[in-house]
Amino acid sequence: MAAPEFKVPEFREFPSVPALVPGSMAHSKPYVASEKVQEGIGLPGQLVDNWEAKAIEKFGELLGKYRSLRVFMDSCVHCGACTDKCHYFIGTGDPKNMPVARQELMRSVYRRYFTLPGKLFPKLVGARDMTREVLDEWFSYFWQCSECRRCSVFCPYGIDTAEVTMAARHIMDSIGHGQKYSNEILGKVHKIGNNLGLPGPALENTLEGLEEDVKDDTGVDVKYPLDVQGAEVLLVTPSADFFAEPHIESLIGYGKVFHAAGISWTLSSYASEAGNFGLFNGDYAMMRKVAMRIREQALELGVKRIVVGECGHAWRVAYAFWNTLTGIGNNGTDPFSVELQKQLDPRYKEPSHICEFTWDLIQQGRLKFDKEANDSRIITFHDSCNVARASRMGDRPGGQFDIPRSIIKAVANKYVDMAPDTVREKTFCCGGGGGVLTDDLLELRVKGAFPRMEALKQVQEQHGVNFMATICAICKAQFSKVLPYYGFNMRMVGGVHQLVSTAIRLGDEQ
Ligand code: SF4
Ligand code: SF4
């Protein structure tokens, strides 16, 4: 690994509020999307004429549409409870990475254009005009937020900085100042169907290769079916599962679960992406467009159930938005939604997470495991933000925390949790979520991973932990990249279904 051009934070004996380093991350900015990328997804190619007024117009439109945004703009009392809760502030010391300061970037503009005191006495109330300087600051610091929502857990008013970030990015997109990484990915989904731009034939080859590998490994014909009409389950999973390490190990695990339980399933070459970067840009129309591919395929293939693979934000979108945006789930009233609801198994009208699916089967006694097969691993679990703080699993509160842990304990003997203030609803982001998983933001990613790395170090030293399981494609990619910066082996991260895959008995082994 090449030496970093920035200083990696050092582990502390006693985690405390970091010393302030004003402006230390002012230089951090992602690449701006090119004209081609912007126009490819229907956005202005470059900064539009009169962009200042257009930005304010868009801001006003969002305030009218989303009452939450107006409440968030109006209700902060500057109590300071959120200030030291953001992993980017803890890792960088830059005061503008305090959640309240991030909000202030937008709130100061809000005051100027949407409040009377701000219109009359801007200086007195800290109101700012929308200027190029402000836009540059927005582009820098709203791309230093992974929309993880940790700060909102500690805010007495429930102010959600993630929503503020989403609104700011949406405004910037609308005036032609988008982020290259996220908008390029959205373009690939629209055109090809997945974030990686992997066309159908390549997908088919990959899955055939996987079947051969699993056969070599286990002697069993586990299938990884594609575009099978009439399958019971449509599995939509992050496209990283098709080729990236360690992601593919979980895909192997999903296939083994379906095989062992004798349930027919299929992947889709048209809806080959569960991830949805429309969320990161706060653009619900974009999010809908991406998600509609899944509804279309569910109808086309005639499946009875839709299951979502290991991906944090994909599960958030499926759990919280598919219903209202696409009619996957109860209550959709357009003819396609109604048709889909008739088609789906009445027990599973809502999408299921692969962990819910596997845990159901375990509880029914339909899966058997050799737990000892995982004995070389001392495992901990990293809760992914979008699962932890923006969704649920199962029929009990906290299922999103308990179900993945229950699966791990069913397939492995050695498990320990990290420190309580770093897991479950207080989990720290991996540092790469929300559209910042790009090498132009590597410094931010490494520094943002610091709190999680500290918690991991603690369980490594105290319990010998050598495997951190997670159920998010972004967390897997981010940790594989940043673990070595902190002296860990990049291979110590993997999926929950990687552990399932290791221990599952397929029933027909040779
Ligand atoms: S990255 Fe997370 S904790 Fe930090 S401001 Fe954004 S939502 Fe809040
Ligand atoms: S915790 Fe909430 S009210 Fe307090 S400063 Fe932060 S955003 Fe404002």
* 74-79 contact pairs (CB < 8 A, 24+): 75/157, 75/159, 76/100, 76/103, 76/107, 76/157, 76/159, 77/157, 79/156
Q: What is the mean pLDDT of residues 225-251?
A: 96
Is this structure's pTM higher than 0.85? Answer: yes
pLDDT at residue 17 tops 90: no
Given a cut of 90, is residue 191 above it in pLDDT?
A: no
Whether residue 164 has its Cβ less than 6 Å from ligand 2: no
Q: Is residue 197's pLDDT more than 80?
A: no
Q: Is 81 in the pocket of ligand 2 (CB under 6 A)?
A: yes
Mean per-residue pLDDT for 129-158? 98
Instruction: Specify the pLDDT at position 335.
Output: 87
The pLDDT of residue 122 is 96
**158 ligand 2 Cβ < 6 A:** no
Judge whether residue 336 has pLDDT over 60.
yes
Given the CA of residue 147, which atom of ligand 1 is nearest to it?
7
What 3-state DSSP class applies to 77?
coil
Rounded mean pLDDT of the chain?
95
pLDDT at 2: 52
Q: What is the pLDDT of residue 243?
A: 87
Alpha carbon of 259 to those of 214, 266, 453: distances in Å?
12, 12, 36
Ligand nearest to the CA of 89: 1
Could you tell me the pLDDT band of residue 508, with boundaries at 50, 70 and 90?
low
- For position 510, what pLDDT does the model report? 43
Output the CA 89–ligand 1 centroid distance in Å.
9
Mutate-to-test residue for ligand 1 from 147, 160, 427, highest number of ligand atoms within 8 A of CB = 147
Which secondary structure element, helix H or strand E, spans residue 122, and what is its range?
none
**What average pLDDT does range 316-329 have in this prediction?**
91
Of the listed ligands, the closest to the CA of 168 is: 1
Q: Which atom of ligand 1 is nearest to the CA of 88?
A: 4
> Which pLDDT value is given to residue 261?
97
412 and 379 Cβ atoms separated by less than 8 Å: yes
CB 101 less than 6 A from any atom of ligand 2 = no
Beta bridge mates, 468: 380, 493
Per-residue pLDDT averaged across 390-414, rounded?
A: 97
Predicted confidence (pLDDT) per residue in 171-186, tens digit: 999 999 999 999 999 9
Which among 82, 98, 110, 152 is the best mutation to test ligand 2's pocket, defined by most ligand atoms within 8 Å of the CB? 82
Q: What integer is the mean pLDDT of 360-371?
A: 97
pLDDT (0 to 100) of residue 15: 73
Mean pLDDT of all residues in 337-344: 91
**Cα(112) to centroid(ligand 2), Å:** 20
Q: Which two tokens stand for residue 327?
A: 């009619």
Model confidence at 328, pLDDT cuts 50, 70, 90, reads confident
Per-residue CA distances from 442 to 269, 430, 447, 449, 479 (Å): 31, 13, 9, 11, 12
User: Quick check: CB of 77 below 6 Å from ligand 2?
Assistant: yes
3 has pLDDT over 60: no
Q: Is 285 in the pocket of ligand 2 (CB under 6 A)?
A: no
Mean pLDDT within 468-484: 98
Mean pLDDT of 434-457: 98
383, 386, 429, 430, best to mutate for ligand 1 pocket (most atoms within 8 Å of CB): 429
pLDDT at 273: 92
- What phi and psi, each to the nearest 5 degrees, are found at residue 146? -95, 15
- Ligand whose nearest atom lies closest to the CA of 150: 1
User: Looking at residues 348-366, what average pLDDT do you find?
Assistant: 96
For residue 243, how far is its CA from the centre of ligand 1 (angstroms)? 30
Q: Would the CB of 79 count as within 6 Å of ligand 2?
A: yes
Which residue owns the Cα nearest ligand 1 atom 5? 99
- Mean predicted confidence (pLDDT) in 190-197: 82
- Checking if the pLDDT of 333 tops 80, the result is yes
**What Cα–Cα distance (Å) separates residue 324 from each residue in 67, 109, 149, 166, 343?**
17, 31, 22, 19, 18
Q: Which ligand places an atom closest to the C-alpha of 75? A: 2
The vertex-350 CA angle with 309 and 248, nearest 5°, equals: 5
